[in-house]
Amino acid sequence: MVTIRLPAALFVIFLLTHSASGSYPRAQNVTWRSTNFKTILTWEPKPSADYSYTVEFSAIGRDNQKNPHCTRSTATVCDLSASLTDPNACYTAEVLSTPLLGEPTELTEFPNTASPRFCPSKDTEIDRPDFKLKVSEDKKKTTLYVSDPVTALFKDGHQQTIRDIFSDQLQYKVTYRRNKSTGKKVLYSKSNEIEVKDLDRGESYCFNVQAYIPSRDTDKQLGEMSQTQCSKDDNQSIFEVYSIGVIAAAIFLILLLIGFIIVITVVCIKRRKNALQKEKEEVPLNRV
């Protein structure tokens, strides 16, 4: 007969419990990815067929919450955009390794991995803005009309822009240069309607725009740079406006048209001469 003393029994129970909870690997590389407040939590590895993941999150100093789409899930991403309702708060999240959905368990604690702290208004990346150009009649001023990028956040049924969230903290950085020149100039504006003055009349200028939030940490103050847009050059030669291929094709078509006209003209003249010659031959000679 084998007897197990109480301390030994407790040790066995501990081993069984530890083995059960430890059978689920912990999540690794828990990372926040966020652009325009579209915020995704990602981690590794892909779970096996034996377990799933559950995400819990909370604002600093508040109770944990769960996202129903990220509970007992086999995915390794969780979209928390709609859950992080206060863009000015800071959040943390935990990824728990849990049993599969519908599988019963007596465990109350599961292997978990915590995320870094994430503060949406300070950490989300800002996407590139769109803008339009308008050159003044005197050709000395160009006005940029910038559209605020929209975010993934809604308030009272309205999709918010970065202007709605950052308010007067938001500025735009404009980088511009004369077309085909490397020298650049920079200006900052708090307005969406930006005037660039004292430009050389008739010259083409190229512009880039990016969001600028000076209240952020230095490495996060600038958003993604927009696509380059250039104004028209009134002094452009035909070779600057059109490519060599287009010009060559146009010349070929013109020569082809001239050749066609010449051929038609020659054929018409020849037919006319033949008709006149035939008429002369058909006219009878006058009797002497």
Residue 248 CA to residue 241 CA, distance in Å, equals: 13
**Residue 63: CB partners within 8 Å, gap ≥ 6?**
none
Of residues 41 and 277, more confidence is placed in 41
- pLDDT band of 284, cuts 50, 70, 90: low
Secondary structure letter of residue 167 according to DSSP = G
In this predicted model, what pLDDT tens digit does every residue of 153-206 receive, in sequence order? 999 999 999 999 999 999 999 999 999 888 999 999 999 999 999 898 888 999
Of residues 46 and 271, more confidence is placed in 46
In this predicted model, what pLDDT tens digit does every residue of 46-105 receive, in sequence order? 999 999 999 999 999 999 999 999 999 999 999 999 999 999 999 999 999 999 988 877
Q: In the predicted model, what is the mean pLDDT of residues 131-135? A: 95
Q: Model-level pTM? A: 0.72
- pLDDT band of 38, cuts 50, 70, 90: very high
The pLDDT value recorded for residue 271 is 81
In this predicted model, what pLDDT tens digit does every residue of 224-259 receive, in sequence order? 999 999 998 765 555 555 667 888 888 888 998 898
The number of C-alpha atoms within 13 Å of 268 and in the hemisphere containing its C-beta is: 6
